[in-house]
Amino acid sequence: MADYALIDGYLESMRSSIRWRRDLDDVIAEIEDHLISATERFEARGSDRVNAQQRTLDEFGDPKVLAVAFASTPKGGIAVPTTFTKSAGLFAIVGAVAWIIGLIAIAIAAGLPDATGVDPDQFVANGQTVFFIIGSMSLLVAGALMFVTMIGLYRRHGSLGILGIAGLGVTALGVLTLLIAWAFALWMTLIGAGVLLFSISLLRRDLSPRLWTVVWGAGMAVGAVTWYVLRWLEVGDPDQWGDYPLAVAFALPVGVIIMAIGLIGIGRWLRGEQPVDLTPSEPLATA
């Protein structure tokens, strides 16, 4: 658009200011249509091309102010990627790895070596205890990192309403119960319910990648439901405490692996966004 140099420059500035929008090309196309329509109208009234563009841009508004309007949520939050949300993406990926490490360590400690013929005592003295401690710590770290990721997701969306807050609260409770790592059913249920609620609130905002949000949100809930079903079916032999190890041995990997895969997807999305610095103001219209 050689004839519309001012508008071209403005659109570039606008594109940079709202680059986090998934529908960026559509928004820019809509703004471009507006600016050229308005310019043509001013020209029809006698302005030259340069003056017509300048008047149009003056009426349209400062890109930085408009960027706040495009980022504002109905409840006044600002939904943009920041350095914190980008960091949260890294926490998500590290957290997912920690979930898997915790799962493997717990599996070794819980007697998977017996099934595979590998004796943990070959690795370290009193191996099962060591592996159980490694597993417990890894799960705790994984839960904490995932919770920080959820804070990042909350801030990325500006706000998430009561469902999102409820999800955060239930997940926080679940992460705390990871201190009792062997209480699998309890923390799987709490984390499964919390992350499920939270991911539903994400899906309602339609901002995060839908596939990874569904996978992450459903993962631990599926694991918990699997445990309850297998427990109800009394699959395998009960141990001395009346639990069904086979139910845990099947349900825990299902929940952790699916959730970790989704968490990595979410983390990659957060990591991939370029942070922007918007000063909150009080825009008239909110997106």
Partner 1 sequence: MSAEALKGHLDLLLLTVVSDGAMHGYAVIEELKGRSDEVFDLPDGTVYPALHRLEKAGYLASEWSVVSGRRRRTYRLTERGRGALGEQRHAWSEFSDAVSRVLRGSPWPTTP
- Pick from 7, 11, 38, 251 the residue near partner 1 by CB under 8 A: 38
- Pick from 3, 12, 30, 234 the residue near partner 1 by CB under 8 A: 30
Q: Of the ranges 44-52, 65-73, 110-118, 190-198, which one interacts with partner 1 (CB under 8 A)?
A: 65-73
229 CB neighbour count, 10 Å cutoff: 13
**87 or 159, CB closer to partner 1?**
159
Residue 246 CA to residue 242 CA, distance in Å, equals 12
Residue 56: closest CA among 37, 30, 74, 38: 38
Phi, psi of 78 (to 5 degrees): -115, 115
CB 283 within 8 A of CB 62: no
**Residue 208 belongs to what H/E stretch?**
none
The reply on whether position 60 binds partner 1 by CB under 8 A is yes
**66 or 160, CB closer to partner 1?**
66
Residues of this chain, 263-282, that bind partner 1 according to CB under 8 A: 282
- Pick from 3, 5, 12, 33 the residue near partner 1 by CB under 8 A: 33
Q: Least distance (Å) from partner 1 to the CB of residue 79?
A: 11
Which tokens belong to 160? 């998430």
- Pick from 3, 12, 48, 59 the residue near partner 1 by CB under 8 A: 59
- Pick from 11, 66, 78, 178 the residue near partner 1 by CB under 8 A: 66
Residue type present at position 66:
L
Residue 63 CA to residue 65 CA, distance in Å, equals 5
Residues of this chain, 70-109, that bind partner 1 according to CB under 8 A: 70, 72, 74
Residues 6+ apart with CB under 8 A from 167: 150, 160, 194, 195, 196, 197, 198, 199, 200, 201
143 CB neighbour count, 10 Å cutoff: 24
The reply on whether position 12 binds partner 1 by CB under 8 A is no
Q: Of the ranges 27-35, 93-101, 104-112, 171-179, which one interacts with partner 1 (CB under 8 A)?
A: 27-35
Q: What is the DSSP string of 210-234?
A: HHHHHHHHHHHHHHHHHHHHHHHTT
The reply on whether position 202 binds partner 1 by CB under 8 A is no
The reply on whether position 150 binds partner 1 by CB under 8 A is no
Q: What are the residues binding partner 1 (CB under 8 A)?
A: 26-27, 29-34, 36-38, 59-62, 65-66, 69-70, 72, 74, 206, 282-287
